[in-house]
Homo-oligomer: A and B are copies of this chain.
Amino acid sequence: MNEDQLRALFEQVRAGAVEVDAALTRLRHMPFEDLGFAKLDHHRALRQGMPEVVLGKGKTPQQVVAIARRLLEVSKNVLITRTDEAIAGAVKAELAGAEHFALSGAIRFWRDKTQVGKGKIAVVTAGTSDIPVAEEAQVTAEVMGNQVEAIHDIGVAGIHRLIDNRVRLTEARVIVVCAGMEGALASVVGGLVACPVIAVPTSVGYGASFQGLAALLGMLNSCSSNVTVVNIDNGFGAGFVASLINRL
């Protein structure tokens, strides 16, 4: 149930088509249902106006299929993140309409493609190895109704590649920057543009990258003031917040 449906309900109440008590009851019973192992919170869509999202990691294929099946009954768009092969196989076998993104493990059911974002979201990577995280961000932002421009492999060691893309960057309303190793791309992009930049440290690197810690600390200490940060490899979170901002 999204905001439109809620508004419709209230209008029915105002029009006398639904009794106040009945409306209240429907509202009260709506928040979640009990599948035994997970509470599905349909109100969350109401509170945040977004499709339902399931984190695949840490769940069994059966759990993911059951949750997704239930969500597809009440929501047009469903996103499953971080599936492994077993989950992806089960979902594709059991549920129609699944798009599978192999690099990031995302699965998308995208049945309502209304564009709600007001501008373009740029999703940028420093190197080829950061693309799986960027893919998760892109898939998320698209299913939430945004046009996404992907710009890959423009890391700071070759600053002119970045500068060559300056126009595309300045045309974006929000930018997601995915970078591992030292994560410097977020600061440099942040310095080039005037819009909010969401930095995603990736676990790309080795040794003293400490699985993304180096990039995380670098981004948190960015000298560009328009940068905020999400968890290491959290492409989904970056795409989600970018979508929220792009609706404003």
Contact B39 A161 (CB under 8 A): yes
Which of the candidate stretches A18-26, A85-93, A150-158 sits at the interface with the other chain? Answer: A150-158
Interface residues on A, range: 35 or more
Give A159-199 interface residues, CB cut-off 8 Å to B.
Answer: 159-161, 163-164, 173, 180-184, 187-188, 190-196, 198
A-side interface mostly: mixed
A217 within 8 A of B: yes
Contact B218 A217 (CB under 8 A): yes
Query: Could you give, for residues 217-231 of chain A, a 1 whenever the CB lies within 8 Å of some chain B CB and a 0 otherwise?
Result: 111111111111111
| Contact (A210, B217) CB under 8 Å given A31-B161, A58-B204, A182-B187 | yes
Min CB gap A136→B, angstroms: 12
Closest to A216 in B: B208
Contact B221 A38 (CB under 8 A): no
A104 within 8 A of B: no
Contact A157 B220 (CB under 8 A): no
Copy number of this protein in the oligomer?
A: 8
Contact A157 B214 (CB under 8 A): no
| Contact (A223, B159) CB under 8 Å given A47-B192, A184-B218 | no
Cα distance, A192 to B59, chains bound together (Å): 25
Contact B231 A207 (CB under 8 A): yes
Which of the candidate stretches A4-12, A108-116, A126-134 sits at the interface with the other chain? Answer: A126-134
Min CB gap A7→B, angstroms: 14
Q: Specify which chain B residues have a CB less than 8 angstroms from the CB of A195 in the assembled complex.
A: 244, 248
Q: Specify which chain B residues have a CB less than 8 angstroms from the CB of A152 in the assembled complex.
A: 37-39
